[in-house]
Structure 1
Amino acid sequence: MDKTQFLDELALKLSGLGQEERQEILADYMEHFAAGAASGKSEQEIVFDLGSPDEIARDILAERGEIPTGEEPYYVPRPVVRKKRGVAGRMWLFLAMLIPNLVVYSLLLSFWGVVVGFAGSTLGFFLTPFGFVLDAVLNQNFELYKLFGTIAVVGLGFIFFVLTMWLAKAMVTASIAYTNFNIHLMKGESKHV
């Protein structure tokens, strides 16, 4: 709802009053819009601050002993203002979350250890051909089964590489998501992700 709609609806709701009194009330609300615009508020924010024209008209008519018209009320939702968490609240929340955070971050760290282990295994699998060549040169012995074994191990290295990449991506996502959850929780924000 913008300024024009608000003032038109208010004028309609106050139609039971005299012309001069209605114009005076509307002039007061135009001043509210001018003051709000000067402070940088949008017309919608000013309407939120003022309330619905129906409620305003009911209050004004009730003060004057007039009976408000039986029209359908217009609902203007008000923004929810959340109270910021103080130092004591943050300290209590920190202590309450200390044990769960120690457990979860320990689990995350151990899963990161698994990722590093898979990465090390992958590197070892990919270095196997160098070991095969070194063995063949130093022992001056080329055996076919070792060649096929080396090829199989390199193939296993590719499988481990894909698995390692998938695990690393999952762990980055999980670590960032849990850390963001804690940040939002400590700030007192309602959206935790």
Structure 2
Amino acid sequence: MTHTEYLNHLEKHLHQLPEQEKQEVLADYQEHFEMGMLEGREASEIAKDLGHPRDIAKEVYLQFRIENAETNKSITNLSQAILSTMSLGLFNLIIVLGPAIALLGIYISLWAAVFSLYVGAIGVFFVTSSSGVQLILLQLFSAMVLAGLGIMLTIGLIKLGNMLYQLFMKYVKWNVKIVKGENYV
């Protein structure tokens, strides 16, 4: 395979990347070919050493998604990083997707509990019909306690969400290192 064919195949497989990122990657691989040819190597030998363009594109796309998820924190970016990680192999489908679904389920159920505290506060204050000042004060106090718990848990869940996001990004990076066979200590 000539270096032009190789770069064309690589460009075709990099279609998911933004244009600027794609051009940087192509320039890097153009440089690999130029340096190799200056050393007297054949283009086919250089292409063989570099690996298949499809595999390179998967790794580049994965790195792009991980970096994007770290700099622009959102569930969408995290999901894209997870899906890109799973493209490395079937092993990752179980090892990465399983914990992601479990943590997401637990996190959503915690938010449901907080929501129920807010609904309970409204229900205790407005729904119960009572007579007497003591009962009204008890209702008011109960509603304030439930709302206060809801507010405290909301703050805690926001902080927990940020922490889980960071931990899961570390887990994804660690998993990528294992799959690539890098030192993961």
TM-score by length of 2: 0.42
TM-score by length of 1: 0.41
Normalized per residue, the structure richer in helix is 2
The structure number with the bigger radius of gyration is 1
